[in-house]
Amino acid sequence: MSSASHVDGKAVTYDTVPPTSGDHWSGSTQCGFYSEEVRDEIAVHNLEHGNVVMSYNLPNAADVTKLKEISNGLQDSGDWLVTRLYSKLAPGEVAIAVWGIMDKFTGIDEARIKKFFDTYKGNLLSDETRGLGQGIPCTTAQRVAG
């Protein structure tokens, strides 16, 4: 796995699209549904904290509304889920990730999203969360879309 250094202000090239680990900025973002892009360097810090990051490129407004309803309806989503627009995905794709793990699919699969989220929210997959013995909820992070 790649390093997890803080490299504030520096653009990072990642091995996957969207990224699942690597160097990142020291700021993270609050959980919630974003209709704008959140920089990879910020989202990766959320991943390091045990948060789930769901990225989407849904051209159909009804699909965006449906995904927002699903995101907001997940138990504990306010503590563990960042959902963001992500133009680097192909149109119609959704990707859900945690530190080192990603599931990418076309369209909205509510059961798949729920299973992934319930399995990995608050995970201990990064060195930081393993060292703390717990995930770090994103409810107290500063909201930065960047």
37-88 pLDDT, tens digit each = 999 999 999 999 999 999 999 999 999 999 999 999 999 999 999 999 999 9
User: What one-character DSSP code corresponds to residue 138?
Assistant: G
Q: Is residue 17's pLDDT more than 50?
A: yes
What whole-number distance in Å separates Cα of residue 100 and Cα of residue 22? Answer: 9
> Coil, strand, or helix at residue 59?
coil
CA distance 19 to 5: 15
Looking at residue 87, its pLDDT comes to 98
pLDDT tens digit string along 80-117?
999 999 999 999 999 999 999 999 999 999 999 999 99
